[in-house]
Structure 1
Amino acid sequence: MAKGKYLEWVSEQGLLMIEGWARDGLTDAQISKNMGISRSTLNEWKKKYPDISDTLKRSKEVVDREVENSLLKRALGMVTKTTTYKMVKVDDDVLKVKRERYLNSYKLEHPDLSKKELLMAAIEAVPTYEQIPITENEVELAPDTSAAIFWLKNRKPDAYRDQSFKELNEAQAEKARADVRKATAEAEIKEAEAKAINGDDEMEDDGFIAAIDHSMSEVWTDETED
């Protein structure tokens, strides 16, 4: 069971690596592969060494909470901010002061480095150009229906099953069809009235009355069904 190898992973550095992988969303199988052990060995270590088990659990809970919050924001709609930056050359005098300050501090931590190595470290740490924010824009994202449905189905499964959404969609579709039938009937009535007013010979009185009765019966049927 990777005898002795567990010591590497119960150390501070090892636990930090495990925590990072868990926060990145890796599964136990992927984490065990990164550790160079089998999934079964990791399961045994989780039972035997609380530090490993607690680290995995704590880190995964953090990720779950972050995903949950993101999903909720997407379902409700949200405002995102984007910032545009411009690369600007640092003034020579300012750059010199910043690099000298960094070099002096870095030299105390690395006394064995040569002057050239210290200078290269300062140049790398304090670049010649820096980002300057130019504009900040706000973009409003409308509520995401798919995210809302996913949230409700998982948070309130008793009230929002697939069948519930199916019934809701069918009811909305039937209402739309009823609205179309009602609009068609009203159009037929208006057409019949217009012909009667214009004295259209093709439309006899009995035919006019029958057309209105037929249209009104369809409207009445739709309304009573609702």
Structure 2
Amino acid sequence: MSEESKGGRPSLYDPDYHPKKVVGYCLLGLTNEQIAGVFDIAVSTLYEWQKEHSEFSEAIKSGKEEADVKIAASLYKRALGGKEKVKKAFKLRSTKNGVGSEERIEIVEEEIFIPSDTGAAIFWLKNRHPDQWRDKKEVDVNDASKITGVTLVDDDDENEDSQQEINDI
């Protein structure tokens, strides 16, 4: 038995194929489970490949980081809004003296205004600065320094009327 052979079934891993393909799958936003499915391997095998083959592990890491950077840039751009150049295609038809027709496609570049998206801005801020922008505020109800003895109703007559209304219900 050779030194390289560990016994058992040979690995399906191909160092010329898998690292290159996995980057593209990561850029498409596939999860590890989905990537394993595409390669027709178990998720545990995918994790083993990551441990055993540093180029494969780096390919997954770089693909996911690049995808995250592109999405973050897109979200940031959407939150700010602004002007953007777009290309539009127009189909033009021309006739000569009402006879025959000739069609051609003309591409025109146009600058359009994209309004800022408050939803994207809120999402960005909540994730980048959750301590300042999250919806849920942490309040310690056991902290006696924050609790004061405030009476909600000062007038005893009103208090009795309110209590009577509650009892009537």
Normalising by structure 2, report the TM-score: 0.64
The secondary structure found in structure 2 opposite 1:85 is strand
Alignment-derived partner of residue 130 in structure 2: 157
Change (3 A) 1:35 1:142: same
Distance 1:130 1:48 in 2: 56
Which 4+ stretches in 1 moved above 3 angstroms?
129-132
For the residue of structure 2 that corresponds to 1:3, the secondary structure is coil
* Structure (1 or 2) with the larger CA radius of gyration: 1
Corresponding residue of 1:143: 116
Give, in whole Å, the separation in 1 of the partners of 2:34 and 2:104: 38
**Contact 1:2 1:37 (C-alpha < 8 Å) held by counterparts:** no
Q: Where does residue 17 of structure 1 map in the other structure?
A: 21
- In structure 2, stretches of 5+ residues that fail to align are 1-7, 93-102, 138-169
Aligned to 1:82: 86
Residue number in structure 2 paired with 1:49? 53
User: Identity over aligned residues, as a percent?
Assistant: 37
Distance (whole Å) between structure 1 residues aligned to residue 9 and residue 90 of structure 2: 52
Q: Which has the higher helix share?
A: 1
Higher relative CO (Cα under 8 Å, sequence separation at least 6) belongs to 1
Q: Deviations over 1:138-160 (max 9, x none)?
A: 22111111111110011001111
**1:82, distance to aligned residue in structure 2 (A):** 2.3
Q: Distance in 1 between matches of 2:65 and 2:53?
A: 19
Provide the secondary structure at the position in 2 that maps to 1:162.
coil
Residue 43 (structure 2) aligned to one of 33, 39, 45: 39
When residues 86 and 139 of structure 1 are mapped into structure 2, their CA distance, relative to the original with a 3 A threshold, is: closer
Distance in 1, matches of 2:41 and 2:63, equals 20
- Which residue of structure 1 lines up, in the alignment, with residue 140 of structure 2? none
What are structure 1's unaligned runs of at least 5 residues?
89-128, 165-226
Deviation at 1:80, TM superposition (A): 2.6
The residue that corresponds to 1:201 in the other structure is none
- How many angstroms apart in 2 are the aligned matches of 1:142 and 1:36? 44
- Distance in structure 2 (CA, Å) of the matches to 1:30 and 1:130: 44
Correspondence for 1:69: 73
Is the CA contact (8 Å cut-off) linking 1:72 and 1:151 kept in structure 2?
yes
- Per-residue displacement from partner, 1:53-88 (whole Å, max 9, x unpaired)? 000000110000000000001111132322123579
CA-based RMSD:
2.3
Shift of 1:2: 6.3
CA deviation vs aligned residue, 1:157-205 (integer Å, no higher than 9, x gap): 11111047xxxxxxxxxxxxxxxxxxxxxxxxxxxxxxxxxxxxxxxxx
8 Å contact 2:89–2:105 — kept in the other structure?
Answer: yes
Deviation string for 1:110-157 (max 9, x for gaps)?
A: xxxxxxxxxxxxxxxxxxx99642x22222111111111110011001
* Greater strand fraction, Structure 1 or Structure 2: 2
> Cα 1:87–1:17, aligned 2, differ >3 Å: closer, same or farther?
farther
Check the 8 A contact 2:76/2:124 in 1, yes or no: yes
